[in-house]
Structures are given as structure tokens and as C-alpha cells.
Amino acid sequence: MSRLFRIAIDGPAASGKSTTAKLLAKKLGFGYIDSGAMYRAVTLKCLEQGVQVTNDAKVKQTANSAQIRFPSLGKVELDGQDVSDAIRTSRIVQNISPIASNPGVRATLANQQRALARANDPAWRGFLFKQSTQVRGVVMDGRDIGTVILPDAELKVFIVADARVRAQRRFDELASKNALGEGETVDAIAKDLAARDEADRTRAVSPLKKAEDAVELDTSDKTIDEQVAAIEQMVYDRL
């Protein structure tokens, strides 16, 4: 027997979604799709091509022409170039909100995200459950995965974490990659995160919102391993 199992993980910025989702995918042998990376890649393309991020029509055109791929776990390609690091800078984050609230961009990326979740890539080995059922699937993280992209996902998790904890995590992540901007502090990051959360929560299209049937997971006091283990258990409980 074989079963498809899709896991939607949503939550605010720096809540630990991506790290958790990636490790979970690795552990279960599932595919991993980082939907935020797709919005970041479109933002990068606009900045590189000098497209004003507030010019909705031009931004939409740019999104339509962007070829975004996930060649391996955690790697992102834009138009054939590895942009895994280039999409993680503060400059991208500062310009992303108008792009993420552009309905044309969301429609294009939503189609691609749904197609990716159906792709059933041979690299998604999955795992054998109770010696008889091969469980294969995908973990997708973002803001609207459980509500809009995969409303019928087999498991939906909404991750939350204290704002200060999130700012410190993001600071540590940027510092470890030597990607901290000049004079960037935890306070400045906290402000940025608060502004981005507000923009994500209040935008008209696909706002950040917990799906009614999502399980809320507060990671403020959890290690990454604990977060992964908690979601893994939810998967087994649903099989």
C-alpha cells in the first residue's frame, strides 16, 4: 500500500518554520518546498532588473518569467542560477511585502506550488509505516499553505513563537552566515519582523492566518529537535 501525506506548515517570520520543515522532510524522506523562497526569488529578480516593487503589472510580468526550482533540499535556483544565499539578505526582506501582496504574483506562485506538491518526485522516498504502507509526501512551509494552497493537506501546523525569541533567532542566523547588515541589532530585526508580520496578517490576498483545522505549536521554549519530534508524532498519530 502507498499513501500520499502532505504537511502544511505556516506561521510568522522567524518562527522556526523553515528549519523545522527542512529537517522534518529529511527525516521522513519527503520533499520540501519553501514557498517563502519563491517570493524572495521574485523580489531578487525585480531588484536585479530594476523593476519597481510597487509597479504591480511589471512585478507580475517578472514573476511569470521567473523559473524557480528546488534542485535539492534547501537549494533554490532562479533562471538557472543558485540564489540560495542571495535571497536571504535584508535588502530582499525590505522589499518583499508589496510583492507578496501582489495578487498576480500570488496566483502564479500558487499554481506552481500546487503543481510541485503533486509532482511526486522520485527523490521523495518516504518511509515504511508498520511494515506495509509506504508513506510518501511533501512538507511545504509559508503563510497560506494550510488556508489557500493545500486546504486539504493531511496535516496542518501553525507555528508561533514569542517576538523577541524570533528576533534573536533571526539575528543568530544572519550572524552565522555573515549576512548581518551594518549596525544591525536584535532590536532593529524585531522592528522589521513586527512590520512584516503586520503586513502579512493584514493584506487583502491570502493573509497569514491559522487554518481552523491546524494544530498550533508554540516553539518559544523548544529546540529544533523538539519541534521536529512534535510534528513527526502528529504524522504518526494521523496514519
Return residues touching ligand DC (CB under 6 A).
13, 35-36, 39-40, 96, 100, 142-144, 196, 200
Instruction: Find the shortest distance in angstroms from Cβ 198 to ligand DC.
Output: 11
Quick one: angle between helices 35-48 and 56-65, nearest 10?
Answer: 110
Residue 119 or 128 having the CB closest to ligand DC: 119
Residue 126 or 146 having the CB closest to ligand DC: 146
Instruction: Find the shortest distance in angstroms from Cβ 114 to ligand DC.
Output: 12
Instruction: Find the shortest distance in angstroms from Cβ 30 to ligand DC.
Output: 18
Alpha helices in the chain (DSSP H): 17-28, 35-48, 56-65, 90-95, 97-100, 103-118, 163-176, 186-202, 224-238
Instruction: Find the shortest distance in angstroms from Cβ 232 to ligand DC.
Output: 21
Q: By the 8 A CB rule, do 54 and 98 touch?
A: yes
> What would the 3-class secondary structure string for 95-129 be?
HCHHHHCCHHHHHHHHHHHHHHHHCCCCCCCCEEE
Q: By the 8 A CB rule, do 117 and 153 touch?
A: no
Residue 5 or 39 having the CB closest to ligand DC: 39
CA gap 91, 221 in Å, rounded: 30
Beta strands 31-34 and 133-142: pairing type?
parallel
Instruction: Find the shortest distance in angstroms from Cβ 121 to ligand DC.
Output: 20
Residue 40 or 135 having the CB closest to ligand DC: 40
Q: By the 8 A CB rule, do 161 and 15 touch?
A: yes
Residue 136 or 144 having the CB closest to ligand DC: 144
Instruction: Find the shortest distance in angstroms from Cβ 13 to ligand DC.
Output: 5
Query: What does the DSSP 8-state code read for residue 88?
Result: G
Residue 126 or 171 having the CB closest to ligand DC: 171
